[in-house]
Amino acid sequence: MATPPVGVTHEPRWKRLPIIWHLRHSVGLQRGMLVAGLLISAMFILVAVLAPVIAPYGFSQLSGPDGSFPRQAAPSSEFLWGTTVGGYDVFSRVVWGTQTALLTVVLAVIASIFLGVALGLVSGYLGGWLDRVLVMIADAIYAFPSLLLAIVVSIIISGGQSSFWGGIAAAAVSITVVFVPQYFRVVRAETVRLKAEPFVESARVLGAPTSRILGTHVLRNATRSLPLIVTLNASEAILTLAGLGFLGFGINPTIAAEWGYDLNRAVADVASGIWWTGIYPGVAIVLLVMGITLVGESLNDLADPRLRIRRAAKRRPAPAAGVTETKGAP
């Protein structure tokens, strides 16, 4: 059995996974930002998974064993965060809204990655008239304001009437259309660069099919920066979803809890001094966006090779006493 050269170690595959690798190579403020972002994001994921257990009431429940819920009731032992003008429990709406937000964002990001990467690979590698058409379409979509485009797509898809999964799918597709051009641009630019590299040229000369070249040689190298874009787009997707709900073009409020819609309904309460109907959904949006953004900014920082070199230099052990380093020594 062959042994690795002296000084060369092979790390387990799990240590090279994106988040784990970044945690192991981060220090100082960057590690603090990454850990804080991961903790906040994990907390929201846990709340979304355990929503049926955590929420004392359903998202559309208006009555309990003692009768109908009071409207605009202040926070109390029975209603921890008070009730809304419609008689809904604010705490339950925020908890169920976490599930809606994460489901929508996950579907939107997965669909955006799949379409953007596939179109970027084909467009960048094949070129020609197909590349020009796809670039023109991507530029046309990118020129529209993202929220306006999401509103138009949401109206076309849902038409204002949808089921639970239909509403989430409509919101996810609306956000997907906004994000596909971003992944398309990044992957296409990397593919154009990579197809001129010697290892791709060698595979082409050896007769490898186009699908194998794209899947084996180009895909992995063209998608190295996607984790950074995914985290930043996920936070933007949450804001887009909240904007759709606030303007009345999001998920139907009778089929799912949605933070943007709750904020819209709470606007009229502010003038009456009723703060609890709007502050909790707003804080939930801010915290979730901040958590995902912290992760994205940390990954972006650690992706800079110059910062990694400086950190490696700081961790390098000092030479032993009596030993001096000389440059150019053999």
Question: How does 264-302 read in b/e, with b if 16+ C-beta sit within 10 Å?
Answer: bbbeebeeeebebbbbbbbebbeebbebbbbbbbbbbbb
Is residue 44 very low, low, confident or very high in pLDDT (cuts 50, 70, 90)?
very high
**Nearest 5°: phi and psi at 27?**
-145, 160
pLDDT at 213 over 60: yes
pLDDT tens digits, one per residue of 20-34:
655 555 566 777 777
Q: What is the share, in percent, of the chain residues with pLDDT greater than 70?
A: 79
pLDDT band for 211, please (50, 70, 90 cuts).
Answer: confident
SS3 category, 102: helix
Structure tokens at 151: 């509103």
Residue pLDDT, tens place only, 154-208 = 777 766 555 677 778 878 888 888 888 888 888 888 888 887 778 777 777 777 7
SS3 64: strand
Task: Give SS3 for 293.
Answer: helix
The mean per-residue pLDDT over the stretch 2-16 comes to 53
Q: Dump strand ranges (E) for the chain.
A: 63-64, 67-68
Query: Can you give the pLDDT at residue 14?
Result: 54
Say if residue 223's pLDDT is above 80: no
Chain centroid to CA 290: 11
DSSP secondary structure code for residue 58 in this structure: -
Under the banding of pLDDT at 50, 70 and 90, the label for residue 283 is: very high
**What's the CA dihedral at 220, 223, 224, 230 to 10 degrees?**
-140
Domains in the chain: ranges and CATH: 26-66+77-305 (1.10.3720.10)
Looking up tokens 């994106």 gives 18
82 DSSP 8-state letter: -
* pTM for this prediction: 0.78
Q: What CA–CA distances, in Å, run from 157 to 66, 139, 147, 283?
A: 41, 22, 15, 30
- Which position has the higher pLDDT, 203 or 70? 70
pLDDT at 50: 92
At 95 the pLDDT is 92
Q: What is the rounded distance in angstroms from the CA atom of residue 56 to the CA atom of residue 78?
A: 9
Give the HSE-up count for residue 194: Cα atoms under 13 Å, Cβ half-sphere: 27
Identify whether the C-beta of residue 291 lies closer than 8 Å to the C-beta of residue 40: yes
Amino acid at 236: E
Judged by DSSP in three states, 67 sits in: strand
Binning pLDDT at 50, 70 and 90, where does residue 329 land?
A: very low
The DSSP bridge partners found for residue 63 are 68
User: Average model confidence (pLDDT) for the chain?
Assistant: 78
68-76 CB contacts, 8 Å cutoff, 24+ apart: 72/269, 72/272, 72/274, 72/277, 74/276, 75/276
* Sign of the torsion angle spanned by Cα atoms 33, 179, 267, 41: negative
The per-residue pLDDT for range 301-328, each reduced to its tens digit, is 666 555 554 444 444 555 555 544 444 4
More confident residue, 208 or 61: 61
CA angle 181, 295, 55 (to 5 degrees): 100
pLDDT over 90 at 285, yes or no: yes
